[in-house]
Amino acid sequence: METKLTNILKLKYKPVVLSWSDSIPEKTIQFAKGKFGCVLNLFAAAAKGKFAACDRETFGCFGGGVGLGFGNQYNNFPGGVDCFCRFLSVGNQGYPPGETVAGYMKGKAPAHFLSDFMKGERFIKTPELTKKFVEAMPMEDMPAKYALFSPLSSVSSDSEDTTGPKIVTFIADPDQLSGLVLLATYATENIEAVAMPFVAGCMAIGILPLRESKSENPRGIMGLIDLSARVNVKSSLGRGFFTLSVPWKMFITMESNIPGSFFERETWKHLMDEEQK
């Protein structure tokens, strides 16, 4: 599907569609089974025109498994949910079960992971608050085999009813993001039609917009707030970008609202002209 927004926003990267399927195209990029990796790198490959996918054995990290709808993979985190809650907050150093798990992982897990496991990523202040964060996640256990990232240009415009939910994600700089947020609210009564939660980068393009797709008044979800995700895509996408993910039907509505909108007025044109200088 060709989208008017790609040209109007002068996007550097292609919008990406996340869908769930029991089959994938030929030459689809995947991580090797059991290989550690960030699914945002698969997402970045699709933004450059390729197909990328993962399944329950190739989602790269436990958070990626959660983010793309493969159930509560935090149960499978080394040491289980308790160690994960410490990993995201204060670390497992001084916590006997965590110290034992770290001993098993030495020489096997990446050094940076072991460092974060012991000292904590410090993204949330305490393990107790992290546990509430985990409990608040809209966990999904999708029945399909694969989570598939596709360039929007490869996706049919009328396939939603036959192929299940789809999420469209834009990679945008601050000016482009401003246009997307305005368009998301343009024909609604909701001035909070876009949310910016603290979640992992994969969750912001996966299970959170998936939850919104079930709402009568869906919101867009802004992402790449996650520091780890920003580090992981810095080399593949560059700096200065955020994501905005919307359910498929919300995307179609946004496209239909372009004619007659601010995109045809001088303020937007001036902003884009300045951006090209």
Would 277 be classed as within a structural domain?
no
Which residue among 89, 112, 136 closes a domain? Answer: 136
Rounded CA gap, 10 and 181, in Å?
16
Is the domain of 248 the same as that of 121? Answer: no
Give the count of domains, the chain.
Answer: 2
Rounded CA gap, 144 and 127, in Å?
32
Is the domain of 198 the same as that of 104? Answer: no
Rounded CA gap, 194 and 213, in Å?
13
Rounded CA gap, 261 and 118, in Å?
52
Which residue among 115, 136, 157 closes a domain? Answer: 136
Is the domain of 144 the same as that of 239? Answer: yes
Average pLDDT, 10 consecutive residues per value, the chain (277 residues): 88 95 94 90 96 94 95 95 97 96 89 93 97 95 95 77 80 96 94 95 97 94 94 92 96 95 94 69
pTM here is 0.93
CA dihedral sign, ordered 25, 26, 30, 32: positive
Is the domain of 150 the same as that of 221? Answer: yes
Would 273 be classed as within a structural domain?
no
Is the domain of 88 the same as that of 206? Answer: no
Rounded CA gap, 141 and 245, in Å?
20
State which residues form the domain around 32: 4-67+140-266
Would 276 be classed as within a structural domain?
no
Would 271 be classed as within a structural domain?
no
Is the domain of 125 the same as that of 148? Answer: no
pLDDT, residue 277, reads 44
pLDDT, residue 276, reads 56
Rounded CA gap, 26 and 191, in Å?
42
Which residue among 136, 161, 185 closes a domain? Answer: 136
Q: What are 188's strand-pairing partners?
A: none
